[in-house]
Chain A
Amino acid sequence: MAEYIKLIDLTKCTGCRGCQVACKQWNELPAEKTGFTGSLQNPMDLSYSTWCLIRYDEFDEADGMKWIMRHDACMHCDWPACVKACPSPGALVKTDSGAVVHDPNYCIGCKACIVACPFDIPRYSEHEEKIAKCTLCYNRITDGKSPACVTACPTGTLEFGPKEDMLAKAHARAEAVGGSVYPNNPKYETHVIYVVPGDVKLAALQHVNPNPKMPTTILWWKNLFKPFTLIGMGGVAGMAALHYFIKGPHRVEKKEEGGEADG
Chain B
Amino acid sequence: MASSREKMVYVSTAEERIIHWMLAGSCLFALITGLGLMFHSWEIIPTMLGGYYATKWMHIFSGVVFAISLVAASIIWWEHCKFVPDDLKWVSQAGGYLWEAHDLPPCGMYNAGQKLFFWCVFAFGIIVVLSGIVMFNPLPFNVTLARWAYMLHVMGVLVIASFFVIHLYLGTVGNPGTVQIMFHGWATREYCEFHKGKWLADRESKGDASE
Contacts and interface: CB of A to CB of B under 8 A. Distances in A.
Contact of A249 (B56, B138, B173): B173
A255 B43 CA distance: 52
A110 to B, nearest CB: 6
B150 interface: yes
A225 B165 contact: no
B175 A236 contact: no
B146 interface: yes
Contact of A233 (B43, B135, B161): B161
A255 B207 CA distance: 22
Interface in A203-228: 215, 217-218, 220-221, 225-226, 228
B115 to A, nearest CB: 17
Contacts of B163: 236
Contacts of B195: 252
Contacts, number: 128
B35 interface: yes
A174 B85 CA distance: 70
Contacts of B166: 236, 240
A70 B52 CA distance: 37
B161 A112 contact: no
Given A87-B52, A261-B102, A111 B139 contact: yes
Nearest to B193: A255
B140 to A, nearest CB: 11
B174 A250 contact: yes
Contacts of B162: 232-233, 235-236
Contacts of A201: none
Contacts of B25: none
Contact of B35 (A229, A260, A262): A229
Interface stretch (A15-23, A113-121, A152-160, A164-172): A113-121
Given A87-B37, A247-B98, A240 B169 contact: yes
A252 B139 contact: no
A127 interface: no
B100 A261 contact: yes
Top 9 A-B pairs ranked by shortest CB distance? A232-B162, A240-B169, A217-B147, A225-B154, A221-B151, A87-B37, A262-B96, A236-B165, A88-B52
Interface of B: 35, 37-40, 43, 52-53, 56, 96-102, 104, 135, 137-139, 143-144, 146-148, 150-151, 153-155, 157-159, 161-166, 169-170, 173-177, 188, 190-191, 193-195
